[in-house]
């Protein structure tokens, strides 16, 4: 076998290189083009995945479809949510919350509504043939003449005192206690109607009157009852009184002596309406009480003759 000379081998190598060069160039070009196309397609996919869907738009399944990586258009409802609406459908109206009324309904009177139990006392502690005499709005100019008459008949009474009047005449309070009578709170300055005042003001009227009475009476003074001006008792002021250890005191006989109808009218009213265990309302303050003093002169012997004994109101 003839071995080609070195010159021939060089010539053969150059020829082969010339023949292979176009193929190599073509092959590299195709690879670069393929790489650029692949990179471009991946960029499209990445961009599409990075753009969030518009608020309110339906979510789509972005898994590859048979069509060269183009996302399919299957609609995917949110987890646990309702099925998607067809395109163009009208959204159902959101339910409107109905406001719950905050005001308490007005109770309807009827057999099913139990009556409110009153805590106002209108009888004596002993009942039977007893009577409780009570005097409001003092101490005043009539207090001492009334005390004189009560002492004459060995009668005891309850005095419902006004705080401002107590401060003007604390000595009358001490005499009331010294002679065996009892005390009742009738507010600081007799406001009417009491229930129309704010709660704090009602507390002031009741608590400060009690304080004034206790100060005037001295150590150990006890105020057992509270009487609302004009009989204006409410659950509110009854509770305030109870919080201060006082029972609410009303009456069963009112001769309206404060209106000064005349001594005979005052006497006749008491004699007509009094029943055993009754509580009589009269006044020793708040104006001219000369008719009350005169009426008491007639009533004390009449009560004794009728067999009444003098007692204090019940305390609960």
Q: Which of 112, 294, 272 is nearest to 282 (CA)?
A: 294
Catalytic, out of 32, 136, 273, 316:
136
Q: How far apart are CA 209 and CA 197, in angstroms?
A: 16
Active site residue 283: yes
Q: How far apart are CA 51 and CA 62, in angstroms?
A: 12
Which residues neighbour 202 within 8 Å (Cβ) at sequence distance 6 or greater? 194, 195, 236, 237, 240
Longest Cα separation, the chain: 176
Neighbours of 254 (CB within 10 A): 16
Catalytic, out of 181, 186, 190, 283:
283
Active site residue 273: no
Cβ contact 142:116 at 8 Å: no
Q: How far apart are CA 293 and CA 143, in angstroms?
A: 9
- Active-site residue numbers? 136, 283
């Amino acid at each position: 076998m003839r071995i080609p000379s070195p010159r021939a081998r060089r010539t053969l190598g150059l020829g082969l290189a010339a023949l292979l060069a176009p193929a190599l160039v073509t092959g590299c070009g195709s690879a670069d083009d393929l790489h650029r196309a692949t990179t471009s397609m991946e960029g499209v996919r990445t961009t599409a995945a990075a753009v969030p869907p518009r608020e309110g738009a339906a979510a789509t399944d972005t898994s590859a479809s048979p069509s060269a990586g183009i996302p399919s258009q299957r609609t995917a409802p949110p987890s646990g949510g309702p099925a998607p609406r067809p395109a163009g459908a009208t959204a159902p109206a959101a339910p409107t919350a109905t406001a719950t009324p905050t005001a308490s309904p007005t109770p309807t009177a009827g057999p099913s509504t139990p009556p409110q139990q009153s805590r106002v006392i209108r009888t004596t502690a002993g009942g039977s043939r007893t009577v409780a005499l009570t005097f409001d709005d003092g101490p005043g100019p009539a207090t001492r003449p009334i005390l004189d008459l009560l002492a004459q008949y060995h009668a005891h009474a309850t005095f419902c005192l006004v705080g401002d009047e107590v401060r003007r005449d604390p000595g009358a309070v001490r005499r009331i206690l010294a002679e065996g009578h009892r005390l009742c709170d009738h507010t600081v300055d007799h406001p009417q109607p009491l229930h129309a005042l704010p709660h704090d003001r009602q507390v002031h009227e009741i608590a400060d009157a009690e304080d004034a009475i206790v100060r005037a009476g001295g150590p150990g003074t006890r105020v057992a009852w509270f009487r609302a001006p004009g009989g204006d008792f409410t659950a509110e002021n009854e509770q305030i009184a109870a919080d201060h250890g006082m029972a609410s005191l009303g009456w069963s006989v009112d001769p309206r002596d404060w209106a000064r109808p005349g001594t005979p009218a005052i006497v006749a009213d008491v004699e007509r309406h009094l029943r055993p265990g009754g509580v009589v309302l009269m006044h020793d303050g708040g104006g001219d009480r000369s008719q009350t003093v005169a009426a008491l002169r007639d009533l004390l012997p009449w009560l004794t003759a009728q067999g009444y004994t003098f007692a204090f109101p019940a305390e609960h």
